[in-house]
């Protein structure tokens, strides 16, 4: 009986020791897993933080580059606008001096009858004031060095050494609607002519294309 009891106790002690050992192993393994998880968690957060830092710096660099490019684009646009303005002025000068062919929509005004040179001067000034880019009369292009209209002793009108004869045909390049409205406005050139001249026929035509050759 005592031997049986002793065996039972030995078995219980053995089980207890085994349980304690297993418990210790489980505890150690659990702690080791926790430590590893903590390490991995800390490294992951650290890596994420470093990535955020790199991303932030990359974004800041990209923003600087975008800002620089926008500044360069703005300067380029300003320069392009300046160059366009210069080109436009050169083109206007070339047209004014007759150094280039010119064409575009415009107006044709035909005066047939006894018209004095002063009326031809007024018609020219009216068209220029209305924005005409180029003007010709009887195929003679008016440019910056044109001397103007003169009347010689026999009553004929002279322009740059050429004698003009009726009908006097003006051609003007520009906005045809604006040009027509300018000469037909109340107290404009056509109304003044009709009030002061007799026997003068006037014909006004809007043209889709008026062409003038350069003055050699």
- 25 with 67, same domain: the answer is yes
- 203 with 141, same domain: the answer is yes
Q: Alpha carbon 97 to chain centroid distance? A: 29
Q: Domain end: 50, 80, 96, which one?
A: 96
Residues 182-198, mean pLDDT to the nearest whole number? 95
- 110 with 200, same domain: the answer is yes
Q: Domain end: 78, 96, 114, which one?
A: 96
Q: Could you give the number of structural domains in the chain?
A: 2
Q: Is the pLDDT of residue 197 over 90?
A: yes
- 74 with 149, same domain: the answer is no
Which structural domain range is residue 24 located in?
1-96
- 109 with 208, same domain: the answer is yes
- 92 with 107, same domain: the answer is no
Bond preceding residue 167 cis, omega within 30 of 0: yes
* CATH number of the domain to which 180 belongs: 3.30.70.1880
- 123 with 208, same domain: the answer is yes
- 89 with 110, same domain: the answer is no
Element (H, E) at 15: helix 2-96
> Among residues of the chain, what percentage have pLDDT more than 90?
47
Report the pLDDT value the prediction gives residue 48, as an integer from 0 to 100: 53
Give CA–CA dist 91/114, Å, rounded: 37
**CB of 163 closer than 8 Å to CB of 156:** yes
- The strand pairing partners of 134, in sequence order, are 173
Report the pLDDT value the prediction gives residue 97, as an integer from 0 to 100: 73
Judged by average pLDDT, the poorest of 1-5, 175-179, 200-204 is: 1-5
Give CA–CA dist 83/211, Å, rounded: 27
Report the pLDDT value the prediction gives residue 118, as an integer from 0 to 100: 94
Buried b (16+ CB within 10 A) or exposed e, 18-28: eeeeeeeeeee
Q: Is the pLDDT of residue 182 over 80?
A: yes
Q: Domain end: 47, 64, 96, which one?
A: 96
Q: Alpha carbon 110 to chain centroid distance? A: 40
Residues 126-139, mean pLDDT to the nearest whole number? 94
Measuring CA to CA, which residue among 84, 104, 125, 115 is closest to residue 194?
115
- 55 with 83, same domain: the answer is yes
In degrees, to the nearest 5, what angle opens at C-alpha 77 toward C-alphas 72 and 78?
95
Q: Is the pLDDT of residue 36 over 90?
A: no
Chain segment 60-106, per-residue pLDDT in tens = 677 777 778 878 777 777 777 776 767 776 766 677 777 889 999 99
- Output the 3-class SS for 134-201: EEEECCEEECCCCCCEEECCCCCEEECCEEECCCEEEEEECCHHHHHHHHHCCCCHHHHHHHHCCCCE
- 88 with 106, same domain: the answer is no
Report the pLDDT value the prediction gives residue 140, as an integer from 0 to 100: 93
- 90 with 131, same domain: the answer is no
The most confident of the ranges 8-17, 30-39, 52-61 is 52-61
* Residue 204: Cβ-neighbour burial (10 angstroms; 0-12, 13-18, 19+): middle
Joined tokens for residue 157: 């009108």
174: left (phi over 0), alpha (psi -120 to 50) or beta: left
- 154 with 171, same domain: the answer is yes
């Amino acid at each position: 009986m005592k031997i049986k009891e002793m065996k039972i106790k030995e078995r219980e002690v053995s089980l207890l020791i085994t349980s304690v050992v297993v418990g210790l192993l489980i505890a150690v393994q659990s702690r080791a897993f926790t430590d590893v998880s903590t390490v991995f968690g800390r490294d992951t957060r650290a890596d994420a933080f470093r990535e955020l830092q790199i991303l932030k710096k990359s974004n800041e660099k990209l923003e600087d580059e975008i800002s620089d490019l926008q500044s360069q684009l703005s300067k380029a646009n300003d320069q392009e606008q300046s160059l366009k303005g210069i080109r436009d002025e050169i083109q206007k000068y070339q047209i004014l001096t007759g150094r280039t062919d010119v064409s575009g929509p415009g107006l044709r005004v035909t005066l047939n009858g006894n018209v004095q040179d002063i009326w031809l001067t007024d018609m020219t000034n009216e068209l220029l004031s209305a924005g005409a880019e180029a003007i010709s009369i009887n195929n003679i292009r008016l440019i910056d060095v044109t001397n103007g209209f003169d009347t010689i002793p026999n009553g004929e009108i002279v322009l740059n050494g050429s004698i003009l004869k009726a009908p006097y045909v003006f051609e003007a390049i520009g906005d045809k609607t604006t040009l027509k409205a300018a000469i037909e406005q109340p107290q404009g050139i056509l109304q003044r002519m009709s009030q002061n001249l007799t026997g003068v026929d006037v014909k006004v035509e809007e043209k889709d294309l008026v062409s003038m050759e350069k003055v050699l």
